[in-house]
Structure 1
Amino acid sequence: MNTNQPHTLSPGYFEEVYRANEDPWNFETSPYEREKYAASVAALPRAHYAHAFEVGCSLGVLTEQLAARCGHLLAVDIAAAPLEKARQRCANLQQVEFRQMRLPEEFPTETGFDLIVLSEVGYYWAAPDLARAAEKLLAALVPGGQLLLVHWTPPVHDYPLTGDEVHAFFLDQTALGGSLRHLHGFRRETYRLDLLEKV
């Protein structure tokens, strides 16, 4: 693990990133992001999820695509600026609800999610906060509910963890007697995807 940056990235980090660039990761324009989002939605085996939760929705590009499969989709982000753009993007989607929220310190009071999407978020947490967030996420997931993980895999010097470390943490919980089972996954050149289901 990256010991040079042991702390979870702060809200101020993201506020500064979005102040410098409204779309800092090119979510709206990148062919790479477009392919990854299409692969993420295609990886979901069910046509409909009654109650879904997307962590770190940013500008809402993936949110908009997930919404077509969801009865209700709660999408949260740590920063206000991208949430405003996400609200505008999804203004006509009545099943989508946005909240500004910092996990794991804050967490939705509702539970019973049958889908949780953790895409390009887990490596922003230091290992202890990843463990705390995971505990809350899995507690909020119904038995048979699914957890979609999608993360960039090359190391980034600012980030406390790598995408592979995030996925390994959750995959460790698929061992005998664990709370998750691995449904499927794949690796591309610069990202990986894993779909897990709560036992």
Structure 2
Amino acid sequence: MQPNPNQPHTLPPTYFDEVYRANEDPWNFETSAYEQEKYAATVAALPKPHYTSAFEIGCSLGVLTEQLAMHCGQLLAVDVAAAALAKARQRCAHLPQVEFQLLRVPEEFPVRQFDLIMVSEVGYYWSPEDLQMAREKILGAVRPGGHVVLVHWTPPVHDYPLTGDDVHDFFLSQVEPAGLFRHLNSQRAATYRLDVLERV
């Protein structure tokens, strides 16, 4: 089978390296009132007050990581950009329960089970094939009674392979039919969407 040149590809780590080289906070995670409101809504949507083991995919500068850690006994936070991870480590240096790793999901994925997996502003960077692989690995890594939280910007971005709605709809399309997860919560703001899934 010949590769389809029109098929969107996952954005490579070099894309993010260049973005962070040009701007230390390219999406204004540290200063944006919009981001702060979204982080507050994300944490408020957690169905449990505390999780023994959590996994955050695409932690960037660690702004959400720092807030999430207050609800976690252990938190593994990963990103593909070394510059972002360096700042995240500094931000969360006072939080011994947080572990950072340079990791490219879904090709690389921890061999662990988690009570919470956070997929925030990362899914639309994957190709459809990688999104499918990510969904399988993410849903397979959640303990019974655990949660997956999806939070994504919904307007299209010209160089992103997918939209936030694409990501959420793809996850939800197989969740309830398979019978292993139930859809607990759905929220839609003007420019982002939040969904919570629970492993039964």
Name the structure 2 match of 1:97. 99
CA contact (8 A) 2:10 2:127 kept: yes
**TM-score when scaled to structure 2?**
0.95
Report the Cα distance in structure 2 between the residues aligned to 1:9 and 1:174, rounded to whole angstroms.
26
Secondary structure, aligned partner of 2:156: coil
CA contact (8 A) 2:176 2:183 kept: no
Letter in 1 for 2:192: Y
Does residue 169 of structure 1 match 2:170? Answer: yes
Name the structure 1 match of 2:110. 108
Q: What percentage of residue pairs aligned between the two structures are identical?
A: 70
Report the Cα distance in structure 2 between the residues aligned to 1:156 and 1:180, rounded to whole angstroms.
30
Secondary structure, aligned partner of 1:185: strand
Name the structure 1 match of 2:13. 11
Report the Cα distance in structure 2 between the residues aligned to 1:177 and 1:94, rounded to whole angstroms.
37
CA contact (8 A) 1:173 1:179 kept: no
Secondary structure, aligned partner of 2:169: helix
**TM-score when scaled to structure 1?**
0.96
Q: Which runs of 5+ in 2 are unaligned?
A: none
Name the structure 1 match of 2:40. 38
Secondary structure, aligned partner of 1:133: helix
Report the Cα distance in structure 2 between the residues aligned to 1:77 and 1:66, rounded to whole angstroms.
16
CA contact (8 A) 2:9 2:126 kept: yes
**Where do residues 1-199 of structure 1 align in structure 2 (5 Å cutoff)?**
6-109=8-111, 111-199=112-200
Q: CA deviation at 1:177?
A: 3.4
Secondary structure, aligned partner of 1:176: helix
**CA shift in 2, pair 1:174/1:136, >3 Å:** closer
Secondary structure, aligned partner of 1:6: coil
Report the Cα distance in structure 1 between the residues aligned to 2:44 and 2:176, rounded to whole angstroms.
26
Report the Cα distance in structure 1 between the residues aligned to 2:99 and 2:45, rounded to whole angstroms.
23
Secondary structure, aligned partner of 2:178: coil
Secondary structure, aligned partner of 1:175: helix
- My pick for the range that moved more, 51-60 or 166-175, is 166-175
State the Cα RMSD in Å: 1.2
Q: Which runs of 5+ in 1 are unaligned?
A: none
CA contact (8 A) 1:173 1:180 kept: no
Letter in 2 for 1:92: H
